[in-house]
Amino acid sequence: MKNTVLLLLVAVLLITASQRLAAQDGNVANKLFYVEFGGPGFIMSTNLDSRFKSDTRLGFGFRLGAGFGVGEFDEVQRTVYTFPAGINYIFGKPNSASAFEVGAGASYLSRKMSLYNYEVEEEGNVIGFLTFMFRVAPVNGGMSFRIGFTPIIGTAGDLFPMGAIGFGYAF
């Protein structure tokens, strides 16, 4: 588990370093590294968000992350590691720092758990999520901010309301 987290951190650092060099050439900042509180990472997660097309900061893209939460197992609180991954679409004006994100994905949990003390007969290690986020990120890169609604889809198909707020850097 520690090796996986270390490998993910090294990959993010390498991507960040290569993109900073590209940003110096005047390219549009289409990648975002951020820390998110709430959402599919539950308590906190670190994420990389990128567009599929390298010449735009709008349109289809993806997010990958690693985080943690707390779950109850046999009436004992324990840490649950989470790995959210999803597809999203960014709406907005090309030269505006603000945009709106709509997305969906799944989050792998390191343990089976129940959500919000809601007992389900079949618990699982993968949950779904939706994202409806307002985001602010400078067009050419810099500090960014995200806030919005991220409902969680439980293993039994139930919808649990959740919000999220994130701070990061666009490059």
90 C-beta neighbours (distance < 10 Å), count: 22
Confidence class of residue 5 from pLDDT cuts 50, 70 and 90?
low
Annotated domain spans of the chain: 2-170
Please give the C-alpha separations between residue 90 and each of 26, 60, 61, 94, 119, in angstroms, as whole numbers: 21, 7, 8, 11, 35
Query: What is the b/e burial string over 123-140, where b = at least 16 CB atoms within 10 angstroms of the residue's CB?
Result: beeebbbbbebebebeee
Residue-wise pLDDT for 123-147, tens only, equals 558 889 999 999 999 998 999 999 9
Considering only the top CATH level, what class is 2-170? Answer: mainly beta
Phi, psi angle pair for 50, to nearest 5°: -145, 155
Residues near 86 by Cβ (< 8 Å), separated by ≥ 6? 40, 62, 63, 103, 104, 105, 106, 129, 131
pLDDT for the residue 21: 44
Number of Cα atoms under 13 Å in the Cβ half of residue 124: 13
Give residue for tokens 């609604």: 149
What value does the mean pLDDT of the chain take? 82
- What number is the average pLDDT over the span 30-43? 93
